[in-house]
Every structure is written in structure tokens, then in C-alpha cells.
Amino acid sequence: MGHNWKEYKDGESKFHQNNIQADIYDAFQKRLSNEAKHLSDPNKRLSPDFKSYQEFFNEKLRQQEILIKELRAHQRHIKDNTENYSN
């Protein structure tokens, strides 16, 4: 019984995962069709700050890149100062 039960549970969990992925895919498809409407209509905006998802994600990426550069500079600063102390 144990073996079949495990197969059943694995199958059930795969089924749920596929359903979740299908929901995500559907949401993404809707988002893309909304995006097309935003881009084709000069008056439509995703939000007051962004015209489209593309603008929104590009801005998020830009912010991440700035943050990463600042963290790397901070890391270098700490590393340089630590090396000076150990001499």
C-alpha cells in the first residue's frame, strides 16, 4: 500500500504544480494583452509612474544595478580598510 500511496501523492502534487503553472501562464497572457493595450493607447498608463510593465521592470532592473554597484563599492571599501588594519 505504501508504494502506491507515494505514487498517488507524487501524482497529486505534480497535478497541483501544473495547475499553478497554468494559472501563472494565464495571468501572464492577460498581462501581455493589457500591455499591448497600454502601449497602443497614448493615454493609457499602467500606473501614474509607469506607462507599461516594460517600463516598470526596466526601472526595477536599473534600481537593482545601482544597488549592486553601491554594495560592491562598500564591500571594496571594507576589504581595503580591513587589509590596512591587519598590516
Domain ranges of the chain: 1-42, 45-87
Dihedral sign computed on CA atoms, order 43, 47, 51, 54: negative
Q: Which residue has the cell 590596512?
A: 84
**Distance of alpha carbon 84 from alpha carbon 72, whole angstroms:** 18
- Which three cell numbers, joined as nine digits, stand for 55? 517600463
For residue range 14-63, what is the model confidence (pLDDT) as tens digits?
A: 877 877 888 888 888 888 787 777 677 778 787 888 878 788 888 999 99
**Distance of alpha carbon 31 from alpha carbon 36, whole angstroms:** 9
Q: Does 73 have pLDDT greater than 80?
A: yes
Nearest Cα to 51, choosing from 63, 62, 40? Answer: 40
Mean pLDDT, to the nearest integer, of 61-73?
93
